[in-house]
Structure 1
Amino acid sequence: MKLSHKLFLILFSLITIILTASLILAALSFKSGFVEFIQNQEKQKLRNLAQRLVPIYQQNQDWSQINVSHLSQHDLLQPMRPRHRRHPPAGQRPHHLRPARHSASTQTQRGAPIALFDASGKLVVGTEYPADDRLRVQISLKDQQQIIGYLHSWIPEVPKDAVTDLFVRQQLHNFAIIAIVSLLLTILLVVVAIPKMLSPIRQLLAKINQLASGNFKITKAKYHQDEFGELNKQLDHLADTLDKNRTSKNRWLADISHELRTPLSILAGEIELVKAGVRQMDEQQLDSLEQEVHRLHHLVEDLYQLSLADIGGLRYQFATTDLVKIIEQQIGLNAANIEQAKLTIELFSPKSVSLVADEQRIAQLIANLITNSVKYTNAPGLIKITVSKAQNFVQIDVEDSAPAIDNNNYHNVFEPLFQEDQSRSRAGKGAGLGLTICQQIVAAHRGQITASASELGGVKITVQLPIRSGS
């Protein structure tokens, strides 16, 4: 099932449930409100009747003069109008002195049954109904703030008459119309809203399809201030990253091909010259061939080490080791190369600095830093190594004399195969992978490595290693 169909069912079901519950509550509220309205209307009738009965009580100070005719609800809500007093025919009593003759059916037709009780609750006139059959409406009669009696009226729990039935049917009809119109509006709302809700998802799917097809130059749109906008933003960032990685990969392959082709071309050319008899296979020729083979060996070894670091293949064994001792050993191992390059190396450090690290990898780190300075420092020159210890880390500064590099390129020196088209270039001096491997080793020790200008006129490489890096 498509997402649009699922959303339609969810929204339609949810709104239908809410609408149904609202209509049921409205119907119940109408029923209770309608009964309350009838009760209030009945109370108003009793109050109007009380205005007639209280003066009669005040004249006689009792209810003896009250009979059934006084409880008639005819014209109770209308203002009392004076009637023309006519003299009765001879032998007949006045009308207001005749005993009233009203049947129960007559009272029911004129309104709800009414009964009058005195202050003690004794029935004076009327008929008392059980509370179970009808709803009782009661008001008190007062004379100068003193209760003199009570008027009770009994109305049906659900009034049954033509007017009431017509009113109820009209309300239910209106509720039905409201329900139908609301459902139609709900369907219209869902049909209009779902495409707008799914529009960001469709945009995301289109971008993902472009990425899957290898097109990383996706069109960037304005980001909405919601989760879809954030997802779009992250997807655009992913596209940029993939594009940069592809560009970097292509540049990497091109640079590696160039680095491998140079010594191979030299080897192939010299072998051709020997075969053609142009050059003799003597010791000098063998040294030249050996030099190119060593260059290829170092390049392949650096590539192997870098690949292992990228895939997490380098294994680190952390233990407490003496950093100063490792640096002194590496200076001794590179003494011949330093002397051959007509350079001087100086070490400024405490007698001993202990830290938790992989001794073999730290030795590789120091060796690469020294080799990098030897390759790129003009003779006669100076290489200075300074070791300092702080509370939680140890710092190693390896700096050399001229030449320097452009200030804008210091953050690029750790990139694989980085080249600078100025005096400090690696043409004929190496593949430019040493500092990249150094960065991998430092990262594995949870440290930091940076490059900056040196006061000696060359480059300063700063390494900070935590004293307790651990594995």
Structure 2
Amino acid sequence: MRRFFKYDYMPSNWMTSEETLKHMLGFKLKLILVALLFGLFLVIGTIVTNHYMLKTSLIEYVDQRDQLHLERIKKNLQHVLTQRGESDLSQMDEVTWKNLVGISSRVDFAETMVPAEVFLFHPFSEFKRFHPDYTEQRLSLMSTERQCIFGNEASNRTLFLPIELNNQKIGYIGYTHREELTESLDIQLEQRQRELITYSVAFLVLITGLLLLPIAHYFIHPILAVTQGMRALTAGRFDTRLKVNRRDELGQLLQDFNHLSKSLEKNQQSRNQWIADISHELRTPLTIIRGDIEAMKDGVRPLNQQTLDNLHSEVVHLNRLIDDLYQIALNDVGGLRYQMQRVNFTGLVNSALANFRQQADIKGLKLHARLPEQDLFLLGDSDRLQQMLANLLANSIAYTDAPGEIHLTLTENKKVLHLVLEDTAPSVSEEAMQHLFERFYRAEGSRNRRFGGAGIGLALVQQIAQAHQGEVTVSASHIGGLKFTLTLPQEAYAS
């Protein structure tokens, strides 16, 4: 009876609960740790990147805010120069420039009724002169040649805003971009945003870690089931099956395990059957030989030519059986070598027919052959091909009832040779036909094994055909028996 179990069911005789828990926690913990480490790497990268982008974006925001202030300074400066009728910035005094910068943060001269000179009349305080604010430190008044009139010299971070009067450029206002935040409110905003990002990511990491537990359990259970199933197969329980109730790659793994266990179970049954068949096939001729010898020793059977012929026949049969087993064993381990050369396949067929025609006549069978007039050649091993033909003919003669007929046809089509061998009744069932090329298989146990070999003749036929890049199939014959169809390419090489 086959055993089926789900992922969460593990037979107690496979592993103790402590070992199962140890293996489950070990792999699950590793999976969770790997996922967490990978997630931690992403988290750290995300935090660092977000902090950098946050700082950069805030600086850009404040910088743009300052540039709005810069536009107003430019407009106010142009307004003052227009009212004064001046166009030379070098004639402007520093006090006027400082007052203009300070007042422009609050007043737009073009939108107020108060004359600009009223705002610029008040003297610039000495305190502000020696302690300028951060914006004033980054502003400069420059000539058309970008020479500094008031403020700091230009650098590679300086933005030049042109000052125009009557569509003519008369100078520049220089503005140096910020490198860091200076106002306390901006700094506090950056800190709050950093804390919010850090806490959010930490919370996500915690939630992810909790979610990984059931996810890891979902993925590990089928793997653990396969592990336990492999232990069962190692212990020789090839009837073990896993319950498959998922369609992903792990489900495919479970299906592959079931296919493996089925194959192992079938191979074990075939091996046991093979051993039993070999023992039976070897025991039968040995028993006959031993019985004849003991009968001759006891004087029950005379030692004459007929008795020796019987013994010789049994020895030949035993030798043929051992040779067939040896050929199959060599083919299985890759030790069977093929001497490929140009072979007259028509001649081989004629030779095989001549060898078996007398045997067919003795049994009461008519052997008909239809061969092409010209010789057909292929690249193959002459001895192996002759053995293949002999096995096919011997099989048909052995299992065709007398009176009966055997028809053999050889044709060629598109560099492929077709050999068709048909015989009369009896036939076998469709199910039995699928197993005729298996070793030691017999469609009916009552059939005579002695004359037709040990049940491995057709297995050798299939192996030899495949070695020549061909194939052999069997089907029901329209004359009542079986129809064997052999195809061989004329330029085949041994595999």
Q: TM-score range by the shorter chain?
A: 0.7 to 0.9
Other-structure match for 1:19 = 43
Residues 470, 489 of structure 2: 8 Å contact kept: yes
Q: SS where residue 434 of structure 2 aligns?
A: helix
Residue identity in the other structure for 2:421: V
Residue 375 of structure 1 and its aligned partner are, at CA, apart by 1.0
Other-structure match for 2:60 = 36
Among candidates 338, 345, 367, match of residue 345 of structure 1? 367
- Specify whether residues 168 and 104 from structure 1 end up closer, same or farther in structure 2 by C-alpha distance, changes over 3 A only: farther
Structure 2 unaligned residues grouped into runs of 5+:
1-25
In 1: Cα distance, 2:46 partner to 2:66 partner: 30
Write the deviation string for residues 360-409 of structure 1: whole angstroms up to 9, x where unpaired.
11111111112112111222222222111223221222222222222332
- Specify whether residues 24 and 406 from structure 1 end up closer, same or farther in structure 2 by C-alpha distance, changes over 3 A only: closer
Residue 290 of structure 1 and its aligned partner are, at CA, apart by 5.4
Larger Rg: 1
Write the deviation string for residues 225-260 of structure 1: whole angstroms up to 9, x where unpaired.
33x444444333222211111111122222333334
Q: SS where residue 335 of structure 2 aligns?
A: coil
Q: TM-score, normalised by structure 1?
A: 0.78
Residue identity in the other structure for 1:353: L
The 5 Å alignment of 1:55-454 reads 55-62=79-86, 67=96, 70-71=99-100, 73=102, 76-77=105-106, 100-105=123-128, 108=131, 112-113=135-136, 127-131=150-154, 139-140=161-162, 151=173, 157-158=179-180, 160=182, 162-170=184-192, 173-174=195-196, 177=199, 198-217=220-239, 218-226=241-249, 228-264=250-286, 280-281=301-302, 292-349=314-371, 350-421=373-444, 425-426=447-448, 429-430=451-452, 431-454=454-477
Q: SS where residue 73 of structure 1 aligns?
A: helix
Say what the alpha-carbon RMSD is for the aligned residues. Answer: 4.2
Residue 463 of structure 1 and its aligned partner are, at CA, apart by 1.3
Q: SS where residue 405 of structure 2 aligns?
A: strand
Residues 225, 242 of structure 2: 8 Å contact kept: no
Q: SS where residue 334 of structure 1 aligns?
A: helix
Other-structure match for 1:88 = none
- Specify whether residues 106 and 414 from structure 1 end up closer, same or farther in structure 2 by C-alpha distance, changes over 3 A only: same
Write the deviation string for residues 321-366 of structure 1: whole angstroms up to 9, x where unpaired.
2122222222222333222112222222134222221111111111
Task: Please identify, of 295-304 and 158-167, the stretch whose mean Cα deviation from structure 2 is larger.
Answer: 158-167
Matched residues, number: 457
- Specify whether residues 386 and 175 from structure 1 end up closer, same or farther in structure 2 by C-alpha distance, changes over 3 A only: closer
Residue identity in the other structure for 2:44: T
Q: Percent same amino acid at aligned positions?
A: 26
In 2: Cα distance, 1:103 partner to 1:138 partner: 28
Residue identity in the other structure for 2:443: E
Q: TM-score, normalised by structure 2?
A: 0.75
Residues 73, 111 of structure 1: 8 Å contact kept: no
Q: SS where residue 389 of structure 1 aligns?
A: strand
The answer to which structure, 1 or 2, has the higher relative contact order (CA under 8 A, 6+ apart) is 2
- Specify whether residues 192 and 146 from structure 1 end up closer, same or farther in structure 2 by C-alpha distance, changes over 3 A only: farther
Q: SS where residue 486 of structure 2 aligns?
A: strand
In 1: Cα distance, 2:445 partner to 2:201 partner: 81
Alignment of 1:468 onto 2:459: no
Residue identity in the other structure for 2:321: L
